[in-house]
Structure 1
Amino acid sequence: MNCPPVYIAVFIHALAALHSPILAWARSQPAHPVVAVVSDFFCGWTQPLAAEIGVPRVVFTPSGVLGTARPVGCDDGFPVAFPAIPREPAFEWREISMLYKAYIEGLVEEQVGESLKQNCLWNLEGWGFVSNTFRALEGRYLDAPLEDLGFKRVWAVGPVAPDTDAAGERGGEAAVAAGDLSAWLDAFPEGSVVYVCFGSQAVLTPAMAAALAEALERSAVPFVWVVSGDGVVPEGFEARAAAAARGMVVRGWAPKVAALRHAAVGWFMTHCGWNSVLEAVAAGVPMLAWPMAADQFVNARLLVEDAGVALRACAGGAGVAPDAGELAAVLADAVGEKGSGARARAKELAADAAIAVRSGGSSYEDLERFVQEIQKL
């Protein structure tokens, strides 16, 4: 989806047009009546839809519990603490959801903004939440119902993370073949390479890209840097990295899941989008957190402070260039002794994640209980 993130609010508003056709379809199924509606948290309009059908609605959240629970009632310019959430996290205005800021600052049409607000309120009216997370990662936020989720039940069924895609084309045609990338990585010692990727939405400004490039060169760590969309790389950097046989720049889609599971990849520099987080967790790879927007600041805090599987790379957010020297030091620390704790914890969490989705695991059991609850309806 190659468009400004603020357009997500427009998409949320537009999806509500599906209300009538889905309602008509549901009412045309007398032999197999609908017993519940399970829908994404961007589809809050399915709450009144479910009420019209006469069934409960369950909110599926592809984000973590903490990222979903963080309220959006914040005032510009002030750190805001959330006392109803364990450990009472506080966030700056720059760390607040871009969608909320677009609503408050009038960056979307009034009708779209009100639709966005109502979407959030409808989610709190649901029967419960199904979350792509697991107890070993977010147990403290699952132990008791959270006020910021309307005290509703949460079934933790994750990580819903893919197995390695041998072709490397999950999500699109890869710019580099998985086999070619693997062969390149084979030349490096175990855990020595930093994989750099900021997802499909975040695009580094020239200043951010310049700081990252300088940090990679100054730290001398081997790396794979995936540049997506309209991203830029400083002139001459790619050629110097190739000449030194120390770095690869991939322009376009890359086989991330396969790369993270390669033995040579020891760290993942990421924007902390939840899918990327779970892919790294499942692979046992610690992260260098560089959040940009949305729930990513919350996810970064969870990874660094709660889970201990990440180090902070940059905390400025979208458009803020880090100090190249400071970032180079973080990279050097990560691959050195100072990163040993996060590396060890990442391996432990990967084992916990694998256990969670097996028969008898916490997520497996939560999914079983959820299905049983649906069958009772």
Structure 2
Amino acid sequence: MASASQALNESQKASERTHFVLIPLMAQGHTIPMIDMAHLLAEHGAQVSFITTPVNATRMAGFINHALATGLTIQFVKLNFPAVEFGLPNGCENADMIQSRDLFKNFMEACAALREPLTAYLRQQHPSPSCIISDMSHWWAADIAREFGIPRLTFNGFCTFASLVRYIIVRDNLLEHVEDENELINFPRFPTPLQLTKEKCPGSLSVYGLEQIRKNIYEEEIRSSGVVMNSFQELEALYIESFEQITAKKVWTLGPMCLCNQDINAMAARGNKASTDEAQCLRWLDLMKPGSVTFVSFGSLACTAPRQLVELGLGLEASKKPFVWVIKAGDKFPQVEEWLAEGFEERVKDRGLIIRGWAPQVLILWHKAIGGFMTHCGWNSTIEGICAGIPMITWPHFAEQFVNERLVVDVLKTGVEVGVKAVTQWGQEQTEVTVTRDAVEKAVSKLMDDGEAAEEMRMKAKEFGVKARKALEEGGSSYNNINLLIQEMGNQANASG
């Protein structure tokens, strides 16, 4: 008993002296899981300094207020963001505020300029930092870690499957001499068969002037002490093992991070913005049969062409299945608003709900009426669908989304492809219709009908949902990893101190 008590005391002491510094990339898809990570670490007894900027702090006001009210040991550090000094509009502090992808280099350089003020701030802190967990893109955070003599772990918001694909592409320069965007790429040492066209590979996006920054990111990734993943052991065991073997890096799976507190997650996404549609949406869903509704949402950055949105809507109508559709309409897409008003909303009013702008995605996915999720396959949305135990219709747009599609469709076998043929690059509006209404109708019918294949997908999805929840419960794989991470970083800090 004495040894067990002593071990518990040592664990508690490690937690108390462990101070994590979290530095997210200022983009919603990267920031939200790191907010959840901060919650999980603090909930397990660690101290957290969460680095942000004034505009981004306003966006996450709901979470900040909750952390203060509940006494979570999270310090929100608001550093002034030098937007104007780097040729950005004043107040441009998030990737979704960048007006042209040609300014992304300016944005990344402005982020790197936070190094000195952050270092000065951390010198004043007691206890001193034990570990920095920064977005992979913040290569400059490694300099701060070296100055303090502490580990730096990277986080990129991908799953391990996609992270391994990206790592192999960069390590082997797989795309360097491939000129044809439609040429199929094979992945050496990948644990399961995988082929992707060059266009659909992560990292194929070309942004002028980023070559040196990409080089810095990769070099510091190689030197990092490990990787944090928003995933869980039971979902990706084979790929976690392969990633550790190929990179010689420890993988800390701490997810699904969105499960730390779904209400807080929703507040973090919403910030101060109240959703007038939220109550209406939930009331509408209450009237639907369990498992009958398809939820359609493509995230915050995907820019789908108006003509393609119309084609999508006509496919949903033709399916004759109930749906909730989060649509980017309004002032930016007057032609879509005109089409909606010309009869579409009236024709589908008994089985279709349109939400313009932000929607309470987590709350919707967990509603008993939802039976399918048409998604752009961003990892945050994908893992939220997995947690809710919902099968998916995959409609990737760019980045690693086509890789996530392969995980969902080929490995997990919990989804069907809608059949996207072309990539919609971030920062460039799609112009052509690449998915027909017939393809939409076929995918919805395949997922939502009562056939044997659909039933098998639903069963598998529910099983992964149960495993996801168990991972973060006491004794679960991610629960244990959080405690081990805190103890290891705390012990290292104590040894070096």
Question: Structure 1 CA distance, aligned partners of 2:105 and 2:328?
Answer: 23
- C-alpha change, 1:118 and 1:297, in structure 2 (3 Å) is same
Find the partner of 1:61 among 150, 156, 167.
156
The match for 1:34 is: 129
Can you give the 5+ residue segments of structure 1 that lack an aligned partner in the other structure? none
Q: CA RMSD in A?
A: 2.4
Which has the larger displacement, 284-293 or 119-128? Answer: 119-128
Aligned to 2:118, the other structure's residue is in SS state helix
Determine if contact 1:37/1:58 at 8 Å carries over to the other structure. Answer: yes
* Contact 1:200-1:228 at 8 Å conserved across structures: no
Distance 1:142 1:288, change over 3 A: same
Q: Which residue of 1 aligns with 2:359?
A: 254
The corresponding residue for 1:15 is 111
Q: How many residues align?
A: 368
Is contact 1:167–1:178 with CA below 8 Å preserved after alignment?
no
The reply to whether residue 278 of structure 1 matches residue 383 of structure 2 is: yes
The residue that corresponds to 1:203 in the other structure is 303
Moved more, 7-16 or 265-274: 7-16
CA distance, structure 2, for counterparts of residue 349 and residue 64 of structure 1 = 15
Equivalent residues in 2 for 1:175-194, closer than 5 Å: 175-194=275-294
How far residue 187 of structure 1 moved from its aligned partner, in angstroms, is: 2.0
Q: Write out per-residue CA displacement over residues 277-331 of structure 1, whole angstroms, 9 at most, x where no aligned residue.
A: 1111111111111011111111111111111111111332323521221221111
* Equivalent in 407, 412, 415 of residue 302 of structure 1: 407
Structure number having the greater helix percentage: 2
Equivalent residues of 1:85, 1:146 under 8 A apart: no
Query: Is 1:95 aligned with 2:200?
Result: yes
Q: Deviations over 1:234-278 (max 9, x none)?
A: 744464344441211111111111111111111110001111111
Aligned equivalents of 2:284, 2:415: Cα separation in 1: 25
Q: Residues 362 and 8 (structure 1 numbering): CA distance in 2 closer, same or farther, change over 3 Å?
A: farther
* 1:200-279 → structure 2 map (5 Å cutoff): 200-228=300-328, 230=332, 233=336, 235-237=338-340, 239-244=343-348, 245-279=350-384
Q: Which moved more, 1:54-63 or 1:260-269?
A: 54-63
Segments of structure 2 that go 5 or more residues without pairing to the other structure are: 1-95, 425-429, 493-497
- Aligned equivalents of 1:19 and 1:169: distance in 2? 29
* TM-score with structure 2 setting the length: 0.69
Decide whether aligned partners of structure 1 residues 369 and 170 sit closer, same or farther in structure 2, where only a CA change above 3 A counts. closer
Percent of pairs with identical residues: 30
Alpha-carbon displacement from aligned partner over 1:71-116 (angstroms, at most 9, x marks no partner): 343134232222122114222122123x5431xxxx42x3x43113
- Contact 2:162–2:400 (CA<8 Å) still a contact in 1? yes
Per-residue CA deviations over 1:4-56 (Å, capped at 9, x if unaligned) read: 68355543332111112222333344x53323222111212112221222222
Tell me if the contact between 1:210 and 1:234 (Cα under 8 Å) persists in the aligned partners: no
Q: Post-superposition shift, 1:360? A: 0.8
Alpha-carbon distance in structure 2 between the residues aligned to 1:76 and 1:189: 50
> 1:198 touches 1:270 (CA, 8 Å); kept in 2?
yes
Corresponding residue number in structure 2 for 1:84: 189
Larger radius of gyration: 2
Partner of 2:481: 366
Matched, 1:24 2:120: yes
Partner secondary structure for residue 155 of structure 2: strand
Moved more, 284-293 or 232-241: 232-241
Q: Output the TM-score relative to the length of structure 1.
A: 0.90
Number of the residue aligned with 1:161: 258
Inter-CA distance 349–43: structure 2 relative to 1 (3 Å threshold): same
Cα distance change, pair 253–91 in 1 and its aligned pair in 2 (3 A): same
**8 Å CA contact 2:164, 2:239 repeated in 1:** no
Q: Structure 2 CA distance, aligned partners of 1:303 and 1:87? A: 14
Query: Does residue 340 in structure 1 map to residue 455 in structure 2?
Result: yes
Matched, 1:357 2:452: no
Structure 1 residues 170 and 5: CA distance shift in structure 2, 3 A: farther
Whole-Å Cα distance in 1 between the matches of residues 302 and 274 of structure 2? Answer: 18
